[in-house]
């Protein structure tokens, strides 16, 4: 099943966040008006996962995922979320967000636990044949190495903050990199976009954060800012970027993105 013409997918959001409770319907209407057909809802804990399923049941354009934020170093929580993912496999679009975070977690013993938890989610994704929606703040090289070492194949690196040179093995493995609207103000992300091939780019917003302005709430309609900036940085048309990210999204998520 192809993503419909002219439509886009915001591949990483937190629309379960209470900051959207008062106007979530308006946010979704603006997303539709911007040509967005589907929105991936990632979760940081079990409550998020449950809320994402509720939202997905109420709004067909919302596609729920479940994961554990990497700064939560709790094996029991990881196991509960993994059990939830197994039970709800047919209702989930991806496992995420999961990964590594060396910005928050700095002690070696805690990094080791974080790595163990991440590895368990990688193995679950392989078993259930679900894409991984990966957080890797200040740990991009380490996250990529672990993913490759575990033979992960369906991978989205969300808002990657590392050097472009660190992603070459991931590009070769067919991993995808999603670009948020903060690319307009991030020299690092601008360099990343310039060096990465168009064939591995996706778009996301990470709503309510990583918007074009750090002081304003971000929302899915702003994926158009990501599209426009990618086009400018690569010297191509927005139409070319749209077609590329649509195809890339289809490659990673397949017909799941419009299935339920």
Which domain CATH number covers 175? 3.20.20.140
Rounded to an integer, what distance in angstroms lies between the CA atom of residue 54 and that of residue 41? 11
Specify if 208 maps to a domain.
Answer: yes
Element (H, E) at 83: helix 75-87
- Angle, alpha carbons 88-89-91 (nearest 5°): 70
Is 3 a member of any domain?
A: no
b or e along 182-216 (b: 16 or more beta carbons within 10 Å of the residue's beta carbon)?
Answer: bbbebeebbebbeebebebbbbbbbbbbbbbeeee
2 is a domain residue: no
Number of domains in the chain: 1
In whole angstroms, what is the distance from residue 81 CA to residue 74 CA?
Answer: 11
Q: Considering the domain boundaries, does residue 1 fall inside one?
A: no
What residues make up the domain containing 13? 8-258
Q: 195 lies in a domain?
A: yes
Is 12:204 a contact under the CB 8 Å cutoff? yes
Q: Is the pTM of this model over 0.75?
A: yes
User: Which pLDDT does position 258 carry in this prediction?
Assistant: 56
- Domain membership flag for residue 131: yes
Local structure of residue 60 (DSSP, 8 states)? T
What is the model's pLDDT at position 256? 57
Identify the pLDDT of residue 166.
83
Specify the residue for token string 């259930």.
128
Per-residue pLDDT of the chain (260 residues; tens, 9 = 90+): 333 345 899 999 999 999 999 999 999 999 999 999 999 999 999 999 999 999 999 999 999 999 999 999 999 999 999 999 999 999 999 999 999 999 999 999 999 999 999 999 999 999 999 999 999 999 999 999 999 999 999 999 999 999 888 889 999 999 999 999 999 999 999 999 999 999 999 999 999 999 999 999 999 999 999 999 999 999 999 999 999 999 999 999 986 575 53
């Amino acid at each position: 099943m192809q993503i419909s013409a002219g439509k886009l997918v915001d591949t990483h959001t937190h629309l379960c966040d209470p900051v959207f409770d008062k106007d979530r319907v308006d946010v979704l209407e603006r997303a539709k008006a911007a040509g967005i057909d589907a929105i991936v809802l990632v979760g940081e804990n079990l409550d998020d996962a449950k809320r994402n399923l509720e939202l997905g049941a109420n709004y067909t354009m919302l596609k729920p995922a479940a994961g554990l934020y990497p700064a939560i170093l709790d094996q029991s929580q990881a196991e509960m979320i993994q059990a939830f993912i197994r039970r709800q496999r047919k209702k989930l679009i991806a496992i995420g967000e999961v990964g590594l975070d060396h910005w928050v977690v700095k002690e070696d013993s805690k990094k080791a636990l974080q790595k163990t938890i991440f590895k368990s989610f990688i193995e679950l994704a392989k078993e259930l044949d679900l894409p991984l929606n990966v957080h890797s703040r200040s740990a991009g090289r380490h996250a990529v190495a672990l993913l490759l070492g575990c033979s992960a194949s369906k991978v989205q690196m969300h808002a990657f903050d590392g050097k472009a040179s660190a992603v070459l093995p991931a590009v070769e493995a067919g991993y995808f990199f999603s670009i948020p609207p903060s690319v307009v103000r991030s020299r690092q992300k601008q360099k990343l976009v310039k060096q990465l091939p168009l064939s591995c780019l996706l778009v996301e917003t990470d709503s309510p954060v990583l918007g074009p302005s750090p002081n304003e709430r971000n929302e899915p309609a702003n994926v158009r800012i990501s599209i426009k900036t990618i086009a400018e940085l690569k010297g191509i048309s927005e139409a070319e970027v749209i077609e590329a990210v649509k195809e890339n999204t289809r490659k990673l998520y397949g017909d799941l993105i419009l299935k339920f």
